[in-house]
Amino acid sequence: MTENEVKPKSFVDLIKEVHEKGICGECGGCVSFCSAAEIGAIDISTTGLPYYSNEENCLHCGICYLICPEIHELDEELNERFNFKPPIGNWSKIVTAQASDPQIQKFATDGGVVTAILIALLENNLIDAAIVAKKIGPFQRTPFFAKNKQDIIDAIGTNYNIEGPVSELGKYNTFVPTITELKKVVSSDKMKIAVVGVPCQIHSIRKMQELKIIPAHVVEYTLGLFCYENFKFDDAARARIEERFNFSFNDIEKMNIKENLIINLKNKDEPLIIEFSDLQDIMRHACRVCENFTNYFADISFGGIASQQGLTTTLIRTKAGEKIYKLALNKGYINEPSDSNTSIEKSKMIAQIISFSKRKANRAEEFQP
């Protein structure tokens, strides 16, 4: 390469433009490519931030830079491919739905639609596995490669089978770098995978698919979760939250995020509702600059906002999304309660989602580094 030739930007530039500005969302996209390609220059550190584990291996190929959701390269191509329209992206159908299986309904975050669709995909041989996030504590999950129905059920919304006191966990993070699990499946090109993820993760996968690179080639379906923000904190912050809101983590029965944080406690009839604005001190820094609430580039996006308790707000976006939703509906894995799906109810749902999306976009504008 001559002196005047422009070198592709690489991980060095990600450090400068993303890490040093404190806006790395820790989605794991950069590491999942570099590991899957067996280059092995970078890895995820114990804090969640990627780092140069073997800098001498770096080929300066620039792929990690291109696929980072904090970098705007490729956004134009993606916006065109997904026919993006602000503030919530393209969609063909909005519905509030629930899993038909009462056991799934009971343990799901909202209506269990994500879990029911994943089971439908597995049982109808449309996927070989799904990447989900398994709960290991309140405010703690780990990426999980689910290969059968039981695995999917084990990773359901509010399954609180936690041994031991919460205080032994030490660090709390509602964010899970699920897509780093993708590197496990790269050797099997024939595998078909569904991935459940928050917007920054699905964004990174779509960028990899735009570049037609591993490991995203095995991702057949993307089930996106709505996401206003995620939280990261330690024992000291946990103690502060417990004191401020007068509850104990050990008493959490169920937790949900809609337009605020909803915590159901043992022996309490009414849930504890905490506004996002009261949790600013534990919000992950990167989430402040993120404007994507509804998971623009997923095949289907899911949230609790705008639906009654026990139902999932479901925004179907792509042809693939339409196909799998219809399959799950027609085969009875999910159902759509008719009284919650009148045209007036749907208009109210979309209005609420638009309003919340704008709120998030305004926050992102305010915090741009």
Ligand X SMILES: Cc1cc2nc3c(=O)[nH]c(=O)nc-3n(C[C@H](O)[C@H](O)[C@H](O)COP(=O)(O)OP(=O)(O)OC[C@H]3O[C@@H](n4cnc5c(N)ncnc54)[C@H](O)[C@@H]3O)c2cc1C
Where does this chain bind ligand X (CB under 6 A)? 108-115, 132-133, 141, 155-157, 174-176, 178, 196-198, 225-228, 230, 256-258, 302-305, 312
User: Minimum distance between the CB of residue 353 and ligand SF4, rounded to whole angstroms?
Assistant: 15
Residue labelled with tokens 């939250």: 241
Residues 226 and 294: beta-carbon distance below 8 Å: yes
For residue 199, whether the previous peptide bond is cis, meaning omega lies within 30 degrees of 0, is no
Cα distances from 324 to residues 53, 90, 117, 266, 320, in angstroms, run: 39, 17, 7, 37, 6
Q: Which of ligand SF4, ligand X, none does residue 204 bind to, with CB < 5 to 8 Å depending on kind?
A: ligand SF4
The yes or no reply on residue 204 touching ligand SF4 (CB under 6 A) is yes
Q: Which of ligand SF4, ligand X, none does residue 48 bind to, with CB < 5 to 8 Å depending on kind?
A: none
Residues 181 and 116: beta-carbon distance below 8 Å: no
Reduced to 3 states, what is the DSSP secondary structure of residue 254?
strand
Q: Which of ligand SF4, ligand X, none does residue 192 bind to, with CB < 5 to 8 Å depending on kind?
A: none
Rank residues 233 and 333 by Cβ distance to ligand SF4 and give the closer one.
Answer: 233
The yes or no reply on residue 88 touching ligand SF4 (CB under 6 A) is no
Residues 131 and 109: beta-carbon distance below 8 Å: no
Residue 324 tokens, joined: 């799998």
CA atoms within 13 A on the CB side of 291: 16
Among 88, 133, 227, 263, binds ligand SF4 (CB under 6 A): 227
The yes or no reply on residue 30 touching ligand SF4 (CB under 6 A) is yes
Q: What sign results for the dihedral spanned by CA atoms 188, 75, 46, 282?
A: negative
Q: Which of ligand SF4, ligand X, none does residue 282 bind to, with CB < 5 to 8 Å depending on kind?
A: none
Q: Which of ligand SF4, ligand X, none does residue 265 bind to, with CB < 5 to 8 Å depending on kind?
A: none
Calpha distance 131→182 (Å, rounded): 8
Rank residues 229 and 299 by Cβ distance to ligand SF4 and give the closer one.
Answer: 229
Helices 29-36, 199-210: axis angle to 10 degrees equals 40
Residues that bind ligand SF4 (CB under 6 A): 10-11, 14, 18, 24-30, 33-34, 39, 41-42, 50, 58-64, 68-70, 175, 198-200, 204, 227, 229-230, 284, 286-287, 290, 292
